[in-house]
Amino acid sequence: MTAAERVWDAGGAILPLDPGAPVDVVRRLLGELRPHAVVDAGGEQIRGDGVAVDADVAVVIATSGSTGEPKGAELSWAALAASSTATEQRLGRDPADSWLSCLPWQHIGGLQVWLRARAARQPVEVLSTFDVERVAGSSATLVSLVPTQLTRLLSAGVDLRRFRVVLLGGAAAPAALLDRAQQAGVRVVTTYGMSETCGGCVYDGRPLADVEVDTDVQGGRIRLRGPMLMNGYRLRPDLTAAALVDGWLRTEDLGAFDGEHLTVHGRADDVIVTGGENVAAGVVADALAAHPDVTDAAVVGVPDAEWGERVVAVVVAGTRAPTLASLRSWVADRAGRSAAPRGLVVVEQIPRLTSGKPDRLAVRALAQSSAGSVGYGSQSAEPPSAS
């Protein structure tokens, strides 16, 4: 992070990019976010025709452009500090604490590991790529992972009990994975948040200090308020006005909050309208992940002449492959008949972005490739790696 510190010392802000991203993706990001300067891996400035940021902005995080136009969340030093302080208050502080960084720094989850360690003057061990053996040999006491990484570590038999806390975020964690970690004696703390909130702001369903949670009366859209919110979207006042209303961030997620605990049901744009019924894809995915023959699942809707949209399950099988009939019955009992999948694709791994979230475009492509009511295929995906 030497280059980043040089920028900060000069009063600027950083826009971390994925060095492994396709050229067209990088060009699109640069065109939308218009940085004042672009610096290559060797520290050489290769472009300088963009727009400066406000003085209090420290970081611009590019949100995923996999399903729409890319946006840049502008995060201030005050927001980042509030996030770090709230995390430390919730997790507690041990003088011997040190962090292990094995998430990509172009995502807020990876960058926050380094920023938290920097704020607390704690050591941080950085892995340039995710490596099971190096995680196993780390002396750190705190680590932030996504579900795919935790799954691979547990499958490899890595003893994670020596980590005082394993923060788990980036994507919804299957209940079976959390049970598996608990049985292995791992202290996992699930996190919910996003780039717009400087990362996780709800831990194990409970808001961090000074974080307010609410849901819209109509539709159950999750709203968040607190000192960790972004300033807005870079160069997009229209998107900022739609997202930040009366001090609240109106997220793209659906959920329920009972005053103490937040339950996330999935993204608002993941609602599948099938046979005139609204089905939350996240609720179906959670139900599928609890099936004894399923270790991971994603759910999408695909066009259907009869139903409007057909609910399709893309799953990773356990010791035996599940049948569509068994999954339909299982989901119907837990989420209603309209939520029962009408298509099934069995894969080796759910395609995921480097942030750990399911790659929705890739999952939808798999679902659309299924023939008839059930399709079988294979799909491999590498785990997220730091850059």
Do 61 and 168 belong together in one domain? no
Q: Mind listing the pLDDT tens digit for each residue in 286-297?
A: 899 999 999 999
Is 92 contained in some domain?
Answer: yes
Dihedral pair phi/psi, residue 194, rounded to 5°: -160, 175
pLDDT at 91 over 80: yes
Domain boundary among 246, 266, 286: 266
Alpha carbon of residue 206 to chain centroid = 17
Domain boundary among 29, 53, 77: 77
Of residues 63 and 379, the one with the higher pLDDT is: 63
> Can you name the residues that pair with 193 across neighbouring β-strands?
200
* Mean per-residue pLDDT, 251-272: 90
The pair of three-digit structure tokens given for residue 255, joined into one six-digit string: 């959920």
Is 6 contained in some domain?
Answer: yes
Domain boundary among 207, 234, 266: 266
* Mean per-residue pLDDT, 225-247: 96
Helices assigned H by DSSP within 38-120: 77-91, 108-120
Q: Domain containing 40: what range? A: 2-77
Contacts of 72 (CB under 8 A, 6+ apart): 15, 32, 33, 60, 61, 62, 63, 233, 234, 235, 236
Helices assigned H by DSSP within the chain: 2-9, 23-33, 77-91, 108-120, 132-136, 147-155, 175-183, 237-243, 281-289, 324-335, 360-369
The CATH number covering residue 233 comes to 3.40.50.12780
Give the residue carrying structure tokens 């009939």. 325
The CATH number covering residue 302 comes to 3.30.300.30
Do 134 and 250 belong together in one domain? yes
Do 207 and 291 belong together in one domain? no
**Lowest-confidence segment of 48-57, 160-169, 225-234, 376-385 by average pLDDT:** 376-385
Q: Mind listing the pLDDT tens digit for each residue in 304-341?
A: 877 888 999 999 999 899 999 999 999 999 988 989 99
Domain count, the chain: 3
**What is residue 281's three-state secondary structure?**
helix
The pair of three-digit structure tokens given for residue 335, joined into one six-digit string: 């989420």
**What is residue 17's three-state secondary structure?**
coil
Do 262 and 113 belong together in one domain? yes
pTM higher than the cut 0.85: no
Q: Mind listing the pLDDT tens digit for each residue in 14-49?
A: 999 888 777 877 888 888 899 988 887 666 677 667
pLDDT at 376 over 70: no
Asked if 338 contacts 308 with a C-beta cutoff of 8 angstroms, the reply is no
Q: Are strands 99-101 and 124-126 parallel, antiparallel or unpaired?
A: parallel
Do 102 and 180 belong together in one domain? yes
Spatial distance between the Cα atoms of 170 and 103, rounded to a whole number of angstroms = 10
